[in-house]
Chains A and B, each alone.
Chain A
């Protein structure tokens, strides 16, 4: 009887404790901001080791971000070619102009075809002469060796690799066709390679994320060892596990965020170094292509990701090592 009343009173106390904490977000927030800035101050006091740890994290984070960004740029480049993924259909030698024009009007009606342009042997010869600089040499030819060519632009819903090659096969089966060729087959191959690169970067990112977690976890483990006495004392005077855990979790968060911030600077610096030679190369190809640096969303993802990895890493270390520190 007496016992049950006591228990009831205890559980009531417990309940009131909880309620008080929930009802006063002030206490909760005050504690967290206090601890967050305390850990930041502690990191600042030992700024050199902090910076070194953050630099390791930064390198591990900058690597996948930089690669990803580079890949994005390559994709942008190949994408700009993709829009004009046309097909060249070379007709057989000896086909006359009227036959070729009849063919043009025939295939224009195909639903897969957006537009067809006919290049006569004369036009082709002239263009070749202009571009190659062999005009004089070509002049000595008695007969034009070039065939009629149809430049076919597939309709937009037939641009994907499978549909485009089906269309090419349809052209190959025409009796007038000598050869049908997808001009930008290599772009498709490049894209396939880029898809592989995507995967590779994903794997690298996963491994480096793990590395970041381990680095932070290890740093926090050392910090727990260094502050063993402090943990003991605070536990002795009534600190909850949450209270003891908090500064270490915040350290992890700061490490992650700081690492991400430095990683961003590293990526920016790297791209700045690359931008000049890249634009020179682009100039040689008569392109105004220029490298795109980290867009805002990616920067946000990078920083959020770094912070999260920091939290996870410190959580691992704290979970494993903090419980072992108990006063005796």
Chain B
């Protein structure tokens, strides 16, 4: 699903965020990405979502070499990916329903289909009763779940999550992680960046550790 071959990312100004990263995450796998802040977790996810571009090396997403893909083609790659942000990036002038519907509108779904799929996603995340509310009226955990609903509503092949539990209490964090396992069970590939080591250790998934831009350990399964 994701293959890095000797990938480096150097930001303008010379700072090297990632050095010579190589790994392969199989289709349908789920893995964690850990490391201190500044270790390059976010940069790695941004490379996959083509928010940042690689400086060196080759990057494949869903079997496609996206290393030098043109800007025009980027949106179509991003549609295969559901991205969940720490600060969830919801639009506060729209209802929960409209927020979750956004990827479907972008992809040009039919009006009826949009309603059906959005409600299915909201139902899965236990937010069905909140569809008419505005995100500002929701709790932090609920907002994060709306963000997840938006990420999964168009059934992406790959979920990327950047510190999805960063602002949540342990109880909620466990719930969110359980949700990700659920999506993984139905075949979605999931890559989660998190520094919440205790939580990660409770779960039985491969872990990749980054330290100062280098991949230091690769636990079983994500080799």
Partner of B83, one of A17, A31, A234, A236: A236
B91 interface contact, C-beta 8 A = yes
**Smallest CB-CB separation from A28: which chain B residue?**
B108
Asked whether B116 is an interface residue with its Cβ less than 8 Å from the other chain, the reply is: no
Q: In this complex, what residue of A is CB-closest to B77? A: A238
Inter-chain contacts of B107 with A (CB < 8 A): 238
Known A238-B78, A239-B75: A233·B91 in contact at CB below 8 Å: yes
The tally of residues in A whose CB lies under 8 Å from a CB in B reads: 23
Pick the residue among B73, B108, B151 that contacts A27 (CB under 8 A). Answer: B108
> Which positions 68-90 of chain B face chain A at CB distance < 8 Å?
72-73, 75-79, 81, 83, 89-90
Chain A 234-256: CB-based contact to B (< 8 A → 1; otherwise 0) = 11111111010000000000000
Q: Is residue B120 contacting chain A, with contact meaning CB distance below 8 A?
A: no
Interface pair B89/A233, CB less than 8 Å apart: yes
Specify which chain B residues have a CB less than 8 angstroms from the CB of A17 in the assembled complex: 76
Q: Are A232 and B89 in contact (CB under 8 A)?
A: yes
Find out whether the CB atom of B108 lies under 8 angstroms from the CB atom of A31.
yes
Collect the chain A residues with CB atoms within 8 Å of residue B111's CB: 30
Give which listed residue, A34, A229, A230, A238, contacts B76 with CB less than 8 A: A238
Q: How many residues on the B side are at the interface (Cβ–Cβ under 8 A)?
A: 30
Report the bound CA distance from A234 to B89 in whole Å: 10
Question: In the bound complex, do residue B91 and residue A230 qualify as a contact, i.e. CB atoms below 8 Å apart?
Answer: yes
A197 to chain B, nearest CB (A): 49
| Minimum CB distance partner of B60 in chain A | A6
State the CA gap A10–B70 with chains docked (Å).
12
Q: Could you say which of B65, B72, B93, B102 contacts A237, with CB atoms under 8 Å apart?
A: B102
- B91 A238 Cβ-Cβ under 8 A: no
**Nearest CB in chain B: distance from A239 CB, A:** 5
- Inter-chain CA distance A14–B75, complex, in Å, is 12
Q: Is B167 an interface residue (CB 8 A)?
A: no
**Residue B105 lies at the interface, judged by CB distance under 8 Å to chain A:** yes
Q: Is the CB of B52 within 8 A of A328?
A: yes
Instruction: Say yes or no: is A327 at the interface (Cβ < 8 Å to chain B).
Output: yes
Whether A238 contacts B51 by the Cβ 8 Å rule is no
> In the assembled complex, how far is the CB of residue B41 from the closest CB belonging to chain A, in whole angstroms?
16
Per-position 1/0 for B104-125, Cβ under 8 A of A: 0111101100000000000000
Residues of A within 8 A of B102 (CB): 233-234, 237
Given contacts A232-B89, A327-B51, contact A237 B110 (CB under 8 A): no
A243-B106 contact, Cβ under 8 Å, with A230-B91, A238-B75 = yes
B30 at the A interface (CB under 8 A) = no
Contact B65 A6, beta carbon cutoff 8 Å = yes
Cα–Cα, bound, A17→B107 (Å): 12
Contact A34 B78 (CB under 8 A): no
The residue that B89 contacts in the complex, of A236, A238, A239, A241, with Cβ under 8 A, is A236
- Contacting pair B105 A236 (CB below 8 A): no
Do A238 and B108 touch (CB < 8 A)?
A: no
Residues of B within 8 A of A27 (CB): 108
Q: Which residues of B contact A34 (CB under 8 A)?
A: 105
Nearest to A35 among chain B residues (CB) is B105
Residue B35 at the chain A interface, CB threshold 8 Å: no
Residue contact B110 to A238, C-beta cutoff 8 Å? no
Complex CA distance for A31 and B114, rounded to whole angstroms? 13
Residues of B within 8 A of A240 (CB): 72, 75-76, 106
Q: How far is the CB of A53 from chain B (nearest CB, A)?
A: 20
The residue of chain A having its C-beta at the shortest distance from the C-beta of B151 within the complex is A237
B103 contacts chain A at the CB level, 8 A cutoff? yes
Interchain CA distance A234-B103 in the complex, whole Å:
8
Q: B150 in the interface, Cβ–Cβ < 8 Å?
A: yes
* Interface: B49 (CB within 8 A): yes
- Residue from the list A14, A229, A238 in contact with B106, Cβ < 8 A: A238
In the complex, which of the residues A10, A30, A34, A233 has the most CB atoms of chain B within 10 Å of its own CB atom? A233
Does B64 make an interface contact (CB < 8 A)?
yes
Residues of A within 8 A of B73 (CB): 14
Q: How far is the CB of A139 from chain B (nearest CB, A)?
A: 91
A9-45 contacts to B, CB under 8 A, are 10, 14, 17, 27, 30-31, 34
Residue from B63, B79, B93 within 8 A of A238 (CB atoms): B79
Q: In the assembly, what is the distance between CA of A234 and CA of B79, in Å?
A: 11
B83 and A10 within 8 A (CB): no
Which A residues are in CB contact (< 8 Å) with B150? Answer: 237
Report, nearest first, the 6 A-B pairs whose CB atoms are least far apart: A238-B79, A238-B78, A240-B75, A239-B106, A238-B75, A27-B108
Could you pull out 14 A-B pairs where Cβ atoms are within 8 angstroms?
A6-B63, A6-B64, A10-B64, A30-B110, A34-B105, A229-B91, A233-B91, A237-B78, A237-B83, A237-B102, A237-B106, A238-B79, A240-B76, A241-B72
- Known contacts A237-B150, A238-B76, A239-B75, then 19 further A-B pairs from the complex at CB < 8 Å, ordered by chain A residue: A6-B64, A14-B73, A27-B108, A30-B111, A232-B89, A233-B89, A234-B102, A236-B83, A236-B89, A237-B78, A237-B79, A237-B102, A238-B77, A238-B81, A238-B107, A240-B75, A240-B106, A327-B51, A328-B51
